[in-house]
Structure 1
Amino acid sequence: MNYREVSGDREFVARLGHGEDWRSEIESLADEADVDAAWFLAMGAVQDATVWFYDQTELEYTEVEFDEPLEVAACVGNVAWLDGERFAHTHAVLSRRSGQTLAGHLDSATVFAGELYMRSFESDLTRDHDEPTDLDLWL
């Protein structure tokens, strides 16, 4: 296990913009507030979504698109540097009208309504390639 102690220094609440991209809104807040590392929680609703599932055998993402309104029952993630840009690593549990849930890495989604809580860390975090998983993980 690789770990280090971090301390939170600032907290934000935000309403995501209707019609905007869910993950881009989180990254925009990080850019505007000069947040180099953070943990966030969110909830709301989206008009569509693209969710990724990571195949641990093939070491690649499989993309699934949903062109329908969905509730964001839970959204959790973090902000860190990836390839010189702030990246919001975002996972979500989405719910259909029937109550059926879908979950995974939320790549993109069009915001209908969204509320976000973000707590930034005093030190920055950077993602780097992890050979065994072929993923970009925290250093």
Structure 2
Amino acid sequence: MDAREVTGDREFVARLDYGEEWCAEIESFVAAADVEAGWFHATGAVEDAELAYYDQDAFAYETVRYDEPLEVTSCTGTIALRDDEPEISVHAVLSRPSGQAVAGALERATVFDGELYCRTFDDYLTRDVDPAGGRALWE
């Protein structure tokens, strides 16, 4: 394990706009607030979604599309620099009216409603592909 202490004192809350793309809204916030490193949580609802899971044997993401309304019971993510540009990584747990949950890396979703909390880090975090697993992780 590689660990280090990070500090930060900027905190934000934001509302995601109806009909917009969930991840694009977070990316817009990151750009407007000039965030280069941080952690965020969000909740709300989406009209549809595309989730991905990582196939550890193939070193590739597989995606599944859901064309149905879903509750965003948990959405968490990180912001780090990749090739000197801020990049978000978003994971979500979405629930159906039955209570069944689907989860994975959130590739895209259409916002019905959403609220975001973000805490920034003063320290820079950078992402690079980890050769052991093939995914972009903090260095």
Render the CA deviation track for 1:82-117: whole Å, top value 9, x for unaligned. 234321111100001111100010011010000000
Q: TM-score, normalised by structure 1?
A: 0.96
Give unpaired runs (5+ residues) of structure 2.
none
Match of 1:67 in 2: 67
1:88-127 superposed matches below 5 A: 88-127=88-127
Whichever structure has more strand as a proportion of its residues is 1
Q: CA RMSD for the aligned pairs?
A: 0.9
Render the CA deviation track for 1:10-31: whole Å, top value 9, x for unaligned. 0000000111111111111111
Shift of residue 65, structure 1, vs aligned partner: 0.4
Residue 36 (structure 2) pairs with residue 39 (structure 1): no
Shift of residue 78, structure 1, vs aligned partner: 0.6
- How many residues are treated as equivalent by the alignment? 139
Query: After the TM superposition, which segments of 4 or more aligned residues of structure 1 sit over 6 Å from their partners?
Result: none
Percent identity between matched residues is 55
Letter in 1 for 2:113: A
Q: TM-score, normalised by structure 2?
A: 0.96
CA distance in structure 1 between the partners assigned to 2:60 and 2:12 by the alignment: 33
